[in-house]
Structure 1
Amino acid sequence: MADSQHSSSYETFGFSREETSQESKLEFSEDEETLIIRMFNLVGERWSLIAGRIPGRTAEEIEKYWNTRYSTSE
């Protein structure tokens, strides 16, 4: 009984198992990566337009992926 209360308190504070699944979503296939690069060269940072070409991906996922993988600090 204490265990179920303990796990629900984690969910209340925003801790869940979904965090690990979100990390795995940032793993893009080689084809997706190639398409993102090509689309970025064509349309720039129009993430929603790029996401529209990749089923199951959101603009936020693609932007986060791009910024972690290709963004350069100036």
Structure 2
Amino acid sequence: MEGLDRSSDDVSMDSKDGNSQDSKMDFSEDEDKLITRMYNLVGERWSLIAGRIPGRTAEEIERYWTSRYSTSE
């Protein structure tokens, strides 16, 4: 039975990873423009930016921003 518990944990972790990938793709063009505008105004203050976009968390927005606009790669 322990093996079954571990399997379900692995599945849930995989689905969480998949959801974070999907959330990057779920941002609309309007949200992207708003994030860009807000970033130019307030910088990396993700919670302030998230406050302007209903249903989005600061973590989602930060992940989206770094995946789209990161120059460190």
- TMscore range, shorter length: 0.7 to 0.9
Provide the aligned C-alpha RMSD in A.
2.1
Which runs of no fewer than 5 residues in structure 2 stay unpaired? none
Instruction: Kindly tell me the number of residue pairs found equivalent between the two proteins.
Output: 69
Distance (Å, rounded) in 2 between the aligned partners of 1:63 and 1:21: 15
Structure label with greater radius of gyration: 1
Q: Compute the TM-score of the two structures, normalised by the length of structure 2.
A: 0.78
Percent sequence identity is: 59
* TM-score normalised by the chain length of structure 1: 0.77
Greater fraction helix: 2
Segment of structure 1 superposing worse, 39-48 or 14-23: 14-23
Take 1:66 and 1:45, find their aligned partners in 2: how far apart are those partners?
Answer: 10
Quickly say closer, same or farther: Cα 1:73–1:9, change in 2 above 3 A. closer
